[in-house]
């Protein structure tokens, strides 16, 4: 597999200029033990998540290559919104395949972007099977949530922004779900400065990426296991093969964090940094709270907070503790 190049990431940035927000760096509100520690909140994107970057880059490239009849994607919520937003912006219909346990806030937000939603039963079906059936029936184009070079390049624009805004950065900490975000960010950062450490973080209850990274092959977890984590954006059963290739080429380590630390991270970000962050997005801060001794660098750090689409009731429960 060919790894995404820096030129491809720059090309993605040009496609994305009309639609994304260039998110700024905020002080992380740490306990004072370290200095120059920042968070980059992708919750400020129009859909509340980084996913718009990869989705719009992919859909726009499909339009450039020959306008498809429509777009199909599968997602628990954030990629769904990114694809629906991109399809609507570019005048295409979209169908999103979502699990029947997807957070209602993400389902409602996807519907509001004019997407047709098809649910699947997580106990008896796979999203890939349902997606393939729709593609076979309609002949529409697939926009995969993470295993696609154009998706990776779109997410990589986050790395460009980090390096341009903080050229002295020594460490970047990134959440891992399917691997598209860390693939793109790590590719951009390592092309610009190979000395910068890139650390991935995922829940202990959905540690397929950690297992894949350590074993050097794609390792899948069962849905019954990954569905235990509060971080719904990381419930993918495995990283993509192309994502693992990028991780092995550009990522320095993958850490796992507890559910208690994820909750604590969401709470501290809300109360101390004044940022609403969903559990998947708070994973880097959870690593800072619970796994700091395993991080190679203690200063000049940026944590990518991947999104803020948290259910209001869950947020109230976490913050109220």
Domain boundaries, the chain: 6-49+148-319, 52-142
Average pLDDT estimate for 85-102:
93
6-49+148-319: which CATH architecture? 3-Layer(aba) Sandwich (3.40)
* pLDDT for residue 6 is more than 80: yes
pLDDT at 229: 95
Identify the sign of the CA torsion 185, 187, 190, 193.
negative
CA 290 to chain centre: 21
Is 36 or 42 the better-scoring residue by pLDDT?
Answer: 42
Phi then psi for residue 124, to 5 deg, are: -125, -10
For the residues 90-114, what does the mean pLDDT come to? 90
How many residues can be counted in the chain?
321
pLDDT computed for residue 32 by the predictor: 56
Predicted local distance difference test score (pLDDT) of residue 106:
82
Residue-wise pLDDT for 60-71, tens only, equals: 999 999 999 999
Q: Are 213 and 182 in contact (CB under 8 A)?
A: no
Q: Which fold has domain 52-142?
A: Rossmann fold (3.40.50)
State yes or no: pLDDT of 100 exceeds 90.
no
Q: Cβ–Cβ contacts within 10 Å for residue 33, how many?
A: 9
Q: Do 6-49+148-319 and 52-142 fold alike per CATH?
A: yes
pLDDT at residue 97 is higher than 60: yes
Whether the pLDDT of residue 33 is over 70: the answer is: no
- For residue 305, the surrounding DSSP H or E stretch is strand 301-305
Q: How far apart are CA 221 and CA 142, in angstroms?
A: 24
pTM over 0.85, yes/no: yes
CA distance linking residue 44 with residue 198, whole number of Å: 23
- For the chain, the average pLDDT equals 94
The confidence band for 231, taking pLDDT boundaries of 50, 70 and 90, is: very high
Tell me, what DSSP letter sits at residue 273? I
pLDDT attached to residue 31 = 58
CA angle, corner 268, sides to 262 and 273, nearest 5? 130
Which structure tokens are listed for 313?
């009731």
pLDDT above 90 covers a percentage of the chain that reads 85
pLDDT grade, residue 72 (50/70/90)? Answer: very high
Confidence class for position 161, pLDDT limits 50, 70, 90: very high
How would you class 135 by CB atoms within 10 Å of its CB: exposed for 0-12, middle for 13-18, buried for 19 or more? Answer: middle
Task: Check whether 122 has a pLDDT greater than 90.
Answer: no
Instruction: Record the tokens describing residue 110, joined without a space.
Output: 């996807």
Question: Contact, 98 vs 107, CB < 8 A?
Answer: yes
Cα 32 to Cα 46: distance, rounded to the nearest angstrom: 32
Closest CA to 155 of 134, 169, 175: 175
Selected residue with higher pLDDT from 121 and 162: 162
Distance of CA 215 to the CA centre of its chain: 22
Residue 200: its H or E element: strand 197-203
Span 226-247, mean pLDDT?
94
- pLDDT band with cut points at 50, 70 and 90 for residue 162: very high
Over residues 273-315, the pLDDT tens digits come to 999 999 999 999 999 999 999 999 988 999 999 999 998 999 9
Catalytic residue numbers read 51, 306
CB atoms within 10 A of CB 193: 12
Which of these, 156, 115, 147, 117, lies nearest to 15 by C-alpha position?
Answer: 156
- The answer to whether 104 and 35 are in contact (CB under 8 A) is no
């Amino acid at each position: 597999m060919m790894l995404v190049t820096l030129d491809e990431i720059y090309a993605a940035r040009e496609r994305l200029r009309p639609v994304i927000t260039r998110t700024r760096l905020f002080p992380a509100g740490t306990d004072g033990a370290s200095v120059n520690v920042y968070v980059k909140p992708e919750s400020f994107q129009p859909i509340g998540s980084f996913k718009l970057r990869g989705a719009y880059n992919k859909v726009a490239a499909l339009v450039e290559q020959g306008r498809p009849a429509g777009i199909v994607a599968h997602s628990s919520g954030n990629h769904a919104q990114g694809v629906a937003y991109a399809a609507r912006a570019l005048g295409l219909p979209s169908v999103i395949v979502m699990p029947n346990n997807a957070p209602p806030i993400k389902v409602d937000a996807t519907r509001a972007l004019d997407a047709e939603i098809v649910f699947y039963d997580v106990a008896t079906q796979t999203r890939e099977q349902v997606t393939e059936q729709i593609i076979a029936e309609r002949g529409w184009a697939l926009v995969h949530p993470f295993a696609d070079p154009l998706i990776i390049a779109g997410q990589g624009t986050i790395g460009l922004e980090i390096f341009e805004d903080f050229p002295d950065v020594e460490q970047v900490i990134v959440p891992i779900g399917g691997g598209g975000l860390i693939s793109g960010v790590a590719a951009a950062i390592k092309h610009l400065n190979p000395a910068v450490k890139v650390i991935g973080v995922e829940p202990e209850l959905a540690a397929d990426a950690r297992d894949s990274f350590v074993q050097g092959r794609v390792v899948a977890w069962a849905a019954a296991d990954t569905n235990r984590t509060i971080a719904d954006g990381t419930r993918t059963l495995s990283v993509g093969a192309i994502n693992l290739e990028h991780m092995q080429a550009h990522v320095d380590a993958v850490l796992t964090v507890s559910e208690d630390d994820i909750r604590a991270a969401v709470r501290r970000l809300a109360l101390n940094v004044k940022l609403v962050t969903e559990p998947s997005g708070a994973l880097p801060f959870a690593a800072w709270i619970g796994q700091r001794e395993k991080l190679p660098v203690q200063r000049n750090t940026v944590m990518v907070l991947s999104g803020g689409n948290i259910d209001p009731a869950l947020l109230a429960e976490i913050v109220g503790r």
